[in-house]
Amino acid sequence: MRVNVIETESLTRRYGERAVVDGVDLRVREGTVHALLGPNGSGKTTTVRMLSTLLRPSSGSARVLGFDTVVDAVQVRRRIGLVGQFHSVDPRLTGSENLTMFARLSGMRARDSRRHARDLLERFGLADAADQQVQSYSGGMRRRLDILAGTVVRPAVLFLDEPTTGLDPHSRNDIFGYILDFVAEGTTVVLTTQYLDEAERLADAITILDGGRTVATGTPAEITAAVGAGVDLVVASADCGRAVKILNEFGAREVGSAVVQEHSIRLAFGMDGEPELLPILRVLDADGIDVYDIGRRRASLDEAFLALTERTPAS
């Protein structure tokens, strides 16, 4: 049975009167990817900074690998890796020199650090650029080097704060592969991201923050199921307006539409709970609407995220 490698109790960080992180309880299982999601300003990065000992909590507590992040901060730092949102490598040094420096700072002997740097660059597709200054690297290459710098001595827990922001799809896929390789070798990953598809693809568990508080936690399937199900409906394009009105009367809300053929349209609706299709079909039929297809649907992670972090517009 996997144990928790991260546990927080009412973790809070205030700046003046404002709580940026407000009473977060977090559990992260060993050998998994745990994604922290939330709108900008929801407290994701501040949470990571507290877990990685860069910030002290205003109240509450956090333990990483059994060590308190305040009392045993040195022990925590020896066992974790952190890749922040901004480049940590020196652009004036080569890729090899950067990794050698990080290995030396981690306590590795000079000869071993040089060999280890070369091995990492070879393994992660940067061997051809090993002796080039990092300032000549592409964005994707720099990000790969950043991740290698944070894992030059393989950490038990790796914090990745928005590691793929601004990267092209090929570079993102490369980094996905690296993350899964790390987990396969026993590293636990805590990932913050703005890309919901990234979380859905990589994460074993997700915690969604909003306004510094936890609004949902669980597997991707558990979070989408908690939001509710819905209905997919294909009708003639001319009947679209009437069909939407009828589904609204059943408590459904339209979440998307797409043209199926020249004269038909697929309507997607979200609902609370499991929808009963037969009563809906009866009312549609009574209104003279031809239904080409109907079925139940599960909410997507995007829909769940929007529903859980929905905010009232400022007046």
Residue 45 banded pLDDT, cuts 50, 70, 90: very high
- State whether residue 152 is helix, strand or coil: coil
pLDDT digits 0-9 by tens, 236-294: 999 999 999 999 999 888 877 888 888 899 998 888 777 889 999 999 999 999 899 99
Candidates 204, 207, 193; CA nearest to 83 is: 193
297 forms beta bridges with 230
Minimum mean pLDDT range among 13-27, 83-97, 174-188, 222-236 = 222-236
Residue 312 banded pLDDT, cuts 50, 70, 90: very low
Q: Which burial class, exposed, middle or buried, applies to 36 when counting CB atoms under 10 A from its CB (0-12, 13-18, 19+)?
A: buried
**Predicted TM-score of the model (pTM):** 0.79
All structural domains of the chain, each given as residue ranges with its CATH number in brackets, are: 4-224 (3.40.50.300), 229-298 (3.30.70.240)
269 forms beta bridges with 231, 254
C-beta pairs of 219-228 under 8 Å, 24+ apart in sequence: 220/301, 223/301, 223/304, 223/308, 224/298, 224/299, 224/300, 224/301, 224/303, 224/304, 225/298, 225/299, 226/304, 227/270, 227/299, 227/303, 227/304, 227/307, 227/308, 228/270, 228/271, 228/272, 228/273, 228/299
